[in-house]
Structure 1
């Protein structure tokens, strides 16, 4: 084992300067001898020039500078040798002559220079001469000197190999097997020398020495590059002769830097189809690498290479020909089939698990990076298989579970995990990603603050309407109602009016299961951390920052909708349950949005009258006789959209019990039609499509949702009062539910008396109460008188006489209506 100590940097610079001067002097004398056609002196000065490369006092980087000076002069010497052949001197004579040089290193450089010309002239068989040169180079075992000597040999011989189809191939000159033997032998010897470089110099310079070794790694990697460029190298030859020897050399060298670089060089040098056929051998070598090797980089490189190969094989490209016509070409779709037949995904997954189990000290960031590469691979090769994505997430969660929240404080690992969690969102879009059962398990490994950052991005993505191209794993389309026109071949959910306040480009989440999953994804935005000691909870945020977060959640609620009222109500119920866990400070912002979403749903619910009218028109076409109420019902629907003013109902008792706006559509089918069978079928479909949700259920739900704002820590009495008034007006004018509307106003008046101590707020709230009551027409005389009396009494309790007068004048209108 070498244990060489280099001089100081200044001393090395002096040695380099002296050697450079000697090289230039000998080069000048060599050129002069060449011009004088003096072969003996030319070889003598060439040997003197090459003798400067015998130094062992220079570190590899400085030795490389010396080598490049000599390399430039050797090109001039080779041109002289070529001219000598034209003067009658054979290359055989020159090859024998240069072997009389006294020192082994100059002699070998000269032999390589003449030997390559000898092969090029076809006077010598490449097989024997290349074997002779590569074996004789073993005479130089100094790591630096031997490495550069073999690099020179490899570079000069690369175009002289007996490759298949080359001019140097033949029964006597050699075949592809001889070319492989030459390059493989040179590669193995160069790798041994390169590994031994780590033992040069003192221990304190190890990091610097490793950096210098890294700069020289391409000298070794060129052998693999030249191997991959051989025309005669087929898959069978690669699988049986090249790969086993390369992997054996990689695993046996036991050097972290060499193993990492050579595995990456192997993956990048040879064709993708070779890796596809030897996947098991490549993966089997990974656990044999040193613990310090960044196996995650190797795995990521291999999976990325195969993913790009599969994507290119299934992509059709269109090009324009010179004549202006377009031509299309596509790759080989069998590549994906072959990957599936090899079960490459599960082999990668098992290899990652084996690497993690064999290296207990593997950093969390490295493990996450491997699973990130596997996830990208699965998303590229199997774009329609969400089950593979879930498998990766489950495996990653299992491998990282023992490290706890925040992955043990590893910031790099957490960044990698955020990148991993972002892949399904960008590749499949949010609706499909919500089907991933294992996604929340990984998000729980993030620190609360990091998870919140991800949650904000998810919500913003929904609000901006960003979504990936539709895949097979998207949310199922909603079932059209019987009263709607014939559906298109691929129906898509239509955003409900409740989402009209959100951006028209927003993504709409229309399934209850998706909503539940979404709230698990964005848990930090709607609830405090489970660990009280964790940073980032609502208690640590000021009102402005918390409101900024909750405004996003409030906007999100308008993107949770379904075309089916029953499903929409279930979505709102699920959202309400999640919001209650957020605490009083969050409810101040989110409850008003939830209430108005519910009011929008109610408007759609009673808007079924319009659908019934449309269905009646269709019934006329089918021979079903209907009465002439369509225009009247349409006007009523428009009034509902404008606030419910002037809505008239014939039977308050019926609306109180049923409260379903689609009842008229069924009642109007009174007269027998020309086609009774069609009419009966239409009636059955209409009954099946009618929602089970009633106005009473929905409004009682809203009453319960408003309750936390009426008092307690989340108390926002003025906001709660206005929400109660809005719901009371809807209960009166849209639902025609007198008792429920009375309850809303009664709660509002009680809240006014108990929770509004400030006079300015009391006056504003009182005018709101009076205005809302004046617009409600459902009340009978008794209940209207009771509410009017309570409102008038409140007017009398105002402090300022001016305010009392104004309020009493407004309250007087309530008695006129009665």
Structure 2
């Protein structure tokens, strides 16, 4: 059928696909159903699938119980990832909305609950589709992250550990934005990304957070707004907190870091150098945000942010002095900032 001349998109939608879907559903053979539905995905043009997505998804829900609808959806999303949406595509009932709704319906429909591994496979495919087709729609990727965090949270409620394959898949899923976004700062606009990251063990969280820090430093970006600094430091928080599973000697006031920890945290110290704003008061607010994050964790690891933060403040004092000498009004003066640095030094001594 796909090779016949004259099979227009209208004919496909009105005549060809309805009859094919009807025969597929009525055959009741699960292997044949899945094979034929996959054939439809592969042999007809992308535009045909987009135009007839609703009936295809609807009939996928009518397949026999043994048919692997999950595999069909993943295959469909991978195929549609090559599609470019028109500029005038409506927000409601667009391709992402339809696929997202079908993923949710498929998960809810499975009797006894779908295995978490399969749930994550579906959402990874949906995330790859969203980032490939709608890279500017950050809310789509954020929606997938939030949904995954919620679903994984139900499984791990009460402290249950993730099955290794699920943990690996979740690690891959939260790493996708770091690999796909050309502008690494787009990751900072995914407020639910840290929720999904938090479902991993701390060592895996640190692995992903370390990759984020590395990408930010490689790109040479500048963090110029408080909101950006706040989100970045929220996302790299796993690098700043202590591992609760590690034994600590409360009587030992001297903290020593091994070479692996120093290597892990040194890039975090470099983050203080990418915070920049020409307006000194705005810069003070950014540095205050960094200080708030560093002190909130109450960990010896905070030394890797507090020390470079103190030097950043001292470098800002000269700029403030120049503004004051020029007769400009400042919200944060030299004395106030130096007092702030003094408090940091005292906390470092303790």
TM-score by length of 1: 0.39
Name 1:771's counterpart in structure 2. none
In the alignment, does 2:38 pair up with 1:287?
A: no
Name 1:726's counterpart in structure 2. none
Name 1:805's counterpart in structure 2. none
Name 1:418's counterpart in structure 2. 171
User: Any idea what SS the aligned residue of 1:452 has?
Assistant: helix
In the alignment, does 2:345 pair up with 1:594?
A: no
Aligned match for 2:83, one of 285, 289, 309: 309
Q: Is contact 2:181-2:187 (8 Å) kept?
A: no
User: Any idea what SS the aligned residue of 1:309 has?
Assistant: coil
Partner Cα separation in structure 2 for residue 241 and residue 519 of structure 1: 55
**CA 1:661 to 1:294, structure 2 compared with 1: closer, same or farther past 3 Å?**
farther
Name 2:131's counterpart in structure 1. 379
In the alignment, does 2:12 pair up with 1:238?
A: yes
User: Any idea what SS the aligned residue of 1:434 has?
Assistant: helix
**CA 1:555 to 1:284, structure 2 compared with 1: closer, same or farther past 3 Å?**
same
Partner Cα separation in structure 1 for residue 347 and residue 233 of structure 2: 21
Q: Is contact 1:407-1:446 (8 Å) kept?
A: no
Larger radius of gyration: 1
In the alignment, does 2:272 pair up with 1:567?
A: no
* Alpha-carbon offset, residue 562 of structure 1: 2.0
Name 1:693's counterpart in structure 2. 332
In the alignment, does 2:348 pair up with 1:709?
A: yes
Name 2:103's counterpart in structure 1. 352
Partner Cα separation in structure 2 for residue 565 and residue 255 of structure 1: 70
User: Any idea what SS the aligned residue of 2:84 has?
Assistant: helix
User: Any idea what SS the aligned residue of 1:409 has?
Assistant: coil
Name 1:433's counterpart in structure 2. 187
RMSD: 2.8
**CA 1:565 to 1:338, structure 2 compared with 1: closer, same or farther past 3 Å?**
closer
Aligned match for 1:606, one of 306, 321, 330: 321
Q: Is contact 1:364-1:407 (8 Å) kept?
A: no
Partner Cα separation in structure 1 for residue 104 and residue 319 of structure 2: 52
**CA 1:433 to 1:588, structure 2 compared with 1: closer, same or farther past 3 Å?**
closer
Aligned match for 2:326, one of 644, 655, 662: 662
Q: Is contact 1:228-1:269 (8 Å) kept?
A: yes
Partner Cα separation in structure 2 for residue 510 and residue 291 of structure 1: 54
Partner Cα separation in structure 1 for residue 345 and residue 198 of structure 2: 31
CA offsets, 1:444-484, max 9 Å, x none? Answer: 2222121111000000111111xxxxxxxxxxxxxxxxxxx
**CA 1:241 to 1:521, structure 2 compared with 1: closer, same or farther past 3 Å?**
same
Name 1:456's counterpart in structure 2. 210
In the alignment, does 2:154 pair up with 1:402?
A: yes
Partner Cα separation in structure 2 for residue 407 and residue 357 of structure 1: 22
**CA 1:352 to 1:420, structure 2 compared with 1: closer, same or farther past 3 Å?**
same
* Alpha-carbon offset, residue 254 of structure 1: 4.7
User: Any idea what SS the aligned residue of 1:454 has?
Assistant: helix
CA offsets, 1:521-540, max 9 Å, x none? Answer: 112101135xx45xxx5859
Aligned match for 1:585, one of 285, 300, 306: 300
Partner Cα separation in structure 2 for residue 542 and residue 600 of structure 1: 27
**Larger displacement relative to structure 2 (509-518 or 339-348):** 339-348
* Alpha-carbon offset, residue 364 of structure 1: 2.1
Name 1:443's counterpart in structure 2. 197
Partner Cα separation in structure 1 for residue 202 and residue 26 of structure 2: 45
* Alpha-carbon offset, residue 256 of structure 1: 4.8
Partner Cα separation in structure 2 for residue 388 and residue 584 of structure 1: 35
CA offsets, 1:59-115, max 9 Å, x none? Answer: xxxxxxxxxxxxxxxxxxxxxxxxxxxxxxxxxxxxxxxxxxxxxxxxxxxxxxxxx
Q: Is contact 1:525-1:550 (8 Å) kept?
A: yes
Partner Cα separation in structure 2 for residue 511 and residue 538 of structure 1: 38
* Alpha-carbon offset, residue 275 of structure 1: 0.9
Structure 1, unpaired ranges of 5+: 1-226, 312-334, 466-505, 609-659, 664-686, 712-818
Name 2:238's counterpart in structure 1. 524
Q: Is contact 1:276-1:339 (8 Å) kept?
A: no
**CA 1:588 to 1:278, structure 2 compared with 1: closer, same or farther past 3 Å?**
closer
Q: Is contact 1:443-1:451 (8 Å) kept?
A: yes
Structure 2, unpaired ranges of 5+: 250-255
Partner Cα separation in structure 1 for residue 326 and residue 297 of structure 2: 37
In the alignment, does 2:267 pair up with 1:513?
A: no
The structure whose RCO (Cα within 8 Å, separation 6+) is larger is 2
